[in-house]
């Protein structure tokens, strides 16, 4: 028996009943939910561990700072700006740079940089595999770099450490690379949440910079991890906002416009800042000394700047709080903005170990405060305030430099608990993001890996294959061979009824699926014409249901290395899905978008012609 494309050997009613039975079968869904629960548990365990590591890192930074600048074994925070070392302060960051260089040379080169780009690269090109040694080398090297005066924050190193811990656990477990990516992102963002107590912003950071997707299987483990990290922050650090400030008032419409304008200016500043970091990095590449010494050379520059401007040394979270108070003298804000930027750009360009978020917040906050001060002196009744200007400046700077748009807005809200700042933040960050998007190809997070040929996703559109199910695409009236036919009989039938398929489905007398056979095997000289089809067919283990998505079908095709998949309902072949069908669905999707645009365009053209016709008629009537 041969059923060709025009046969209707399977009644419609049994087909629909079979499809309903397959849809009601919950085994696949339960399995996926079981995997999700397991990955979520792993994410929570990693986040609990990273909360403790975050506390350890902060204490270690405090210890190294107090030893380096005050000669005391003290775990409490003391700003290096209050040191009395005189010119000796110049060599302290250089010593830290030497130690970091040695750790990078003999430990792992991956400890260099600010953490997030390195994590992004491993996700994109290395199946989310990070060396386990980074879990302890990164926090130690960062504590040395920051504790000896490096102008970095603790968040970058802890994000890198959390990512490494999650990746290490993922490599020990029998899980997929995508699940490992989720655990990596969970560990990284839990570290941010543990440092700042900003779980929602951490979730958005995962979406915008690490996961490149928005789905339950990714978001739920990350969200649970960030909640756990926030609980760790409240338990191990403090319960209030990390950057407390006076209550802000809701601005007027004029004020909103001015804050948006400030966001535009900050956006241009973020371009300059990003370019400067990588220009300096290129300069270090040209220095005729081994890269191990670059952090030491960068440290000398940090120490020299720190000698004249001590507030540029160290983490600088206290600087951010001061800027948000609006009571810092303009001269100090100017020096903090310019020289913190210079110190941080040189240090980061030298390849030492540190973070970017705190410096970006400091520089952006200082820039926002400066612009607000100048505008208030020129236009006293403009309706803005310096604290609000500093807040939107720090957020807009991060939005422009990293293009983590939602993260920037939510972080500022969570870190200060100022709900009235929402609209100014939205306006300023949107303005900064627009400037960055149109004028800068890569961001401070992606420039380094882009130079290595790594392409970073810049949009998170839903997967077309995930939105289409097999029933919409499959060929329902397909050619089927009977397993009892001889090869010669098939050849004779095909000579009269040629087919387009290169691979055909084989069924038994009850239309139950048996396997597939290639046309090339039918016409192969190595098979005798008397052989029956069941002797040369390929026993496919893979099949799909009409309710499955095309994405799951493509994954199965890749795993089984097959060109077609039978679509079964109670083991009855109800259709066939081929690569050609899938490509056609893709083409149809894009054609529909283009057709929609064309229709709009044609409608506009018709309107213009109608209006033009009316104008001509009017002129003719006047004549």
Q: What pLDDT, in 10s, does the model give residues 349-371?
A: 888 877 788 899 999 999 999 99
Most trustworthy range by pLDDT among 129-133, 206-210, 401-405, 555-559:
401-405
Check residue 461 and give its pLDDT: 66
Check residue 596 and give its pLDDT: 52
Distance (Å, whole) CA 369 – CA 374: 9
* pTM of this structure: 0.77
Whether residue 120 is predicted with pLDDT greater than 80 in this model: the reply is no
Query: For residue range 258-307, what is the model confidence (pLDDT) as tens digits?
Result: 999 999 999 999 999 999 988 998 899 899 999 999 999 999 999 999 99
Give the chain's mean pLDDT: 82
* 314 closest CA partner among 78, 100, 90, 113: 78
Whether residue 14 is predicted with pLDDT greater than 70 in this model: the reply is no
481, 501 in Cβ contact below 8 A?
Answer: no
Distance (Å, whole) CA 68 – CA 81: 12
Residue 592, Cβ density class (10 Å: 0-12 exposed, 13-18 middle, ≥19 buried): exposed
Q: How far is CA 254 from the centre of its chain?
A: 35
Distance (Å, whole) CA 326 – CA 330: 10
Which is higher by pLDDT, 491 or 368? 368
* 570 closest CA partner among 1, 21, 10, 196: 21
Which is higher by pLDDT, 304 or 564? 304
Distance (Å, whole) CA 337 – CA 5: 73
* 289 closest CA partner among 345, 348, 341, 351: 351
Quick one: what percent of the chain has pLDDT higher than 70? 86
Whether residue 487 is predicted with pLDDT greater than 90 in this model: the reply is no
Check residue 595 and give its pLDDT: 57
- Which domains are present in the chain? 36-236 (1.10.3080.10), 254-451 (1.10.3080.10), 464-581 (3.10.580.10)
CB within 8 Å of 70: residues ≥ 6 apart:
78, 83
Which is higher by pLDDT, 12 or 484? 484
Whether residue 176 is predicted with pLDDT greater than 80 in this model: the reply is yes
Local confidence band at 446 (pLDDT 50, 70, 90 cut-offs): confident
Task: Give the C-alpha distances (Å, rounded to integers) separating 544 from 17, 23, 28, 88, 469.
Answer: 16, 12, 12, 72, 10
368, 391 in Cβ contact below 8 A?
Answer: yes
């Amino acid at each position: 028996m041969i059923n060709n494309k025009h046969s209707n050997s399977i009644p419609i009613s049994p087909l629909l009943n079979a499809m309903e039975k397959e849809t009601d079968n919950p085994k696949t869904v339960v399995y996926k939910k079981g995997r999700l629960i397991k990955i979520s548990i792993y994410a929570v365990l990693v986040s609990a561990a990273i909360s403790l590591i975050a506390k350890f890192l902060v204490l270690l930074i405090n210890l190294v700072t107090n030893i380096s600048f005050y000669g005391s074994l003290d775990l409490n925070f003391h700003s290096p700006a209050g040191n009395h070392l005189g010119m000796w302060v110049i060599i302290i960051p250089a010593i830290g740079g030497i130690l970091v260089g040695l750790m990078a040379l003999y430990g792992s080169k991956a400890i260099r940089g600010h953490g997030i780009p390195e994590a992004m690269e491993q996700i994109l090109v290395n199946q989310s595999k990070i060396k386990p040694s980074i879990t302890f080398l990164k926090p130690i090297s960062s504590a040395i770099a920051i504790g000896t005066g490096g102008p970095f924050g603790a968040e970058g190193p802890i994000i890198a450490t959390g990512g490494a811990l999650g990746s290490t656990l993922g490599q020990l477990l029998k899980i997929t690379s995508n699940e490992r990516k989720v655990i990596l992102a969970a560990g990284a963002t839990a570290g941010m949440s543990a440092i700042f107590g900003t779980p929602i912003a951490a979730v958005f950071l995962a979406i915008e910079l690490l996961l490149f997707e928005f789905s339950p299987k990714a978001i739920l483990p990350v969200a649970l991890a960030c909640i756990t990290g926030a609980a760790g922050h409240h338990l191990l650090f403090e319960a209030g906002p990390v950057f407390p400030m006076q209550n802000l008032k809701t601005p007027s419409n004029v004020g909103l416009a001015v804050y948006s304008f400030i966001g535009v200016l900050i956006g241009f500043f973020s371009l300059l800042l990003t370019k400067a970091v990588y220009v300096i990095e290129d300069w270090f590449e040209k220095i005729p000394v081994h890269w191990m010494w670059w952090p030491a050379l960068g440290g000398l520059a940090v120490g020299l700047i720190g000698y004249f401007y001590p507030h540029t040394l160290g983490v600088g979270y206290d600087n951010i709080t001061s800027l948000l108070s609006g009571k810092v003298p303009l001269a100090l804000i100017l020096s903090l903005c310019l020289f913190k930027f210079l110190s941080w750009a040189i240090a980061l360009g030298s390849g030492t170990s540190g973070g970017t978020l705190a410096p970006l917040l400091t520089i952006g906050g200082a820039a926002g405060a400066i612009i607000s001060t100048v505008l208030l002196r020129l236009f006293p009744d403009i309706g803005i305030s310096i604290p609000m200007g500093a807040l939107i400046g720090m957020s807009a700077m991060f939005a422009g430099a990293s293009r983590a748009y939602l993260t920037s807005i939510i972080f500022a809200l969570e870190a200060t608990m100022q709900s009235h700042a929402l609209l100014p933040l939205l306006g300023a960050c949107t303005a900064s993001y627009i400037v960055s998007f149109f004028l800068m190809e890569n961001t401070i997070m992606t420039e380094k890996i882009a130079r290595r040929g790594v392409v970073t996703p810049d949009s998170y559109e839903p997967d077309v294959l995930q939105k289409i199910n097999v029933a919409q695409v499959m060929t329902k009236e397909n050619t089927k061979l009977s397993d009892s036919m001889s090869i010669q009989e098939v050849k004779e039938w095909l000579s009269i009824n040629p087919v387009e398929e290169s691979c055909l489905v084989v069924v038994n007398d009850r239309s139950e699926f048996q396997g597939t056979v290639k046309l090339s095997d039918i016409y192969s000289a190595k098979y005798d014409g008397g052989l029956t089809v069941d002797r040369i067919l390929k026993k496919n283990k893979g099949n799909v249901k009409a309710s499955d998505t095309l994405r799951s079908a493509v994954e199965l095709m890749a795993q089984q290395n097959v060109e077609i998949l039978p679509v079964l309902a109670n083991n009855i072949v109800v259709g066939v899905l081929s690569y050609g069908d899938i490509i056609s669905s893709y083409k149809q999707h894009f054609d529909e978008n283009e057709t929609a645009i064309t229709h709009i365009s044609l409608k506009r053209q018709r309107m213009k012609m109608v209006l033009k016709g009316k104008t001509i008629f009017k002129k003719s009537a006047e004549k």
